[in-house]
Structure 1
């Protein structure tokens, strides 16, 4: 049985770099093994061809922000773990290289309502984390809510102006019907369980809810269970 060698060690022997440089090259997605990008320094090489791609740099990976279409039943932790190179949306993958370093040290911003699906935001960029955290009380969050039941008279108007219900001071929101069973709700930093409470206050029961926008960033046509990178032109 042949003896295997760590990829980082192979690269050091190949180009004469330091161990730290080898790890940066590999972590940056600049190293291939038999033509396939491998970004794990500890990957074991067994006689395959190791190569350094043209334009390789030891610059650390740029911090990224990831947008996930989280499925119902997931929480932010399981949603984060579901993001891999394989679940990157094909429609948004052009020009992108999903590397292991992009999934490290991610912070979840603006948690979804309990039981909701839809847009979940994760970031390792301190500037994005700070902006969303500071502006969270001012950022609109848009939900599409499937409901059952019969809304009370003037219930939609009550949702839009805010009111007190059974000791709960309910904020005014932007609410409108998309169809006979689907409400569009726009809220700012809704407390956990608020959408369910708002619906019950006007005689409705929540069947499902899906967040489609946070601030100026929308989920668009991202398939359920898949994710994409935040584009440089998108702003919260």
Structure 2
């Protein structure tokens, strides 16, 4: 007996793989909702994250609420798989929810941690409120912007500059996902002597934690300040790189992430990411 009856004429057939041992769907269930752990196909949540539709966690939430359509069929059961080239569309309600998600740019001062409070130091998110919003920001503070707001990347407690906080899983994945290639630019004040070989090593050739670092762009900004452009963000990476070539960092400021610049955002203040800005 065929457990996957053909869809009515004119209705696209979803390419979903079912676990062989799963019971046949009931008369009211769609074949698209059948769970599976079969290795054929990809989990729909994974496909959605890879395509930048949302984060995997958000994808699971949308699937549970029935807000995801694959090849024209509604999917509402976690674990459903589909062909790698399946057409995946979010329902209007999900798109409207994404449009309300806030991304905030903060000029983090020294003394605040990027994430959760630790060792008596407050998280940077406590600086986000109506009193610390940049005066010229065209969007005014919305209390809902604080719900689920999390840092997309880190900036050490003794560093200052541009920190991104977001509710949007798409932004977080773009900035800190495993395949992220977004540039981060820093101005780094140093003490010590750096010869040509040391500068060459900062650009390419150093290892941290037993693994080679990706190529960087490092050059002198002035007589005591270096400019670093990185495409990765290991813990205290710049400070540790400088130590390996005999330098000591006395000040570190992040001034750009992708195409978004710190600009004239005052220290300790924040603003919303503008619609015309992209990382």
TM-score normalised according to structure 1 size: 0.67
Return the offset for 1:62.
Answer: 1.6
Q: What residue number does 1:99 align with?
A: 142
Q: Residues 139 and 149 from structure 1, CA distance in 2 versus in 1: closer, same or farther, beyond 3 angstroms? A: same
Q: 2:215 aligns with which of 161, 164, 172?
A: 172
The alignment status of 1:194 with 2:232, answered yes or no, reads no
* 1:111 alignment partner, SS class: coil
Superposed CA offset, 1:202-222 (max 9, x none): 221000101111122221111
Compare relative contact order (CA 8 Å, sep 6+) and give the higher one, 1 or 2: 1
- 1:69-218 matches, within 5 Å, as 69-77=107-115, 78-91=123-136, 93-94=137-138, 96-134=139-177, 137-164=180-207, 169-218=212-261
Q: Is the 8 A contact 2:106 2:163 kept in 1?
A: yes
Return the offset for 1:115.
Answer: 2.1
Structure number having the greater strand percentage = 1
* 2:161 alignment partner, SS class: strand
> How many pairs does the alignment contain?
176
Superposed CA offset, 1:14-55 (max 9, x none): xxxxxxxxxxxxxxxxxxxxxxxxxxxxxxxxxxxxxxxxxx
Superposed CA offset, 1:46-74 (max 9, x none): xxxxxxxxxxxxx9782110000000111
Q: Is the 8 A contact 1:163 1:172 kept in 2?
A: no
Q: What residue number does 1:224 align with?
A: 267
Superposed CA offset, 1:114-154 (max 9, x none): 52111110111233233334366311111110111111342
Which of 226-235 and 118-127 deviates more? Answer: 118-127
TM-score normalised according to structure 2 size: 0.58
Which of 168-177 and 105-114 deviates more? Answer: 168-177
* 1:112 alignment partner, SS class: coil
Which of 97-106 and 110-119 deviates more? Answer: 110-119
Could you tell me how far apart the structure 2 residues matched to 1:150 and 1:64 are? 44
Q: Residues 188 and 68 from structure 1, CA distance in 2 versus in 1: closer, same or farther, beyond 3 angstroms? A: same
Return the offset for 1:163.
Answer: 3.5
Q: Cα RMSD (Å) of the superposition?
A: 2.3
Q: Residues 135 and 186 from structure 1, CA distance in 2 versus in 1: closer, same or farther, beyond 3 angstroms? A: same
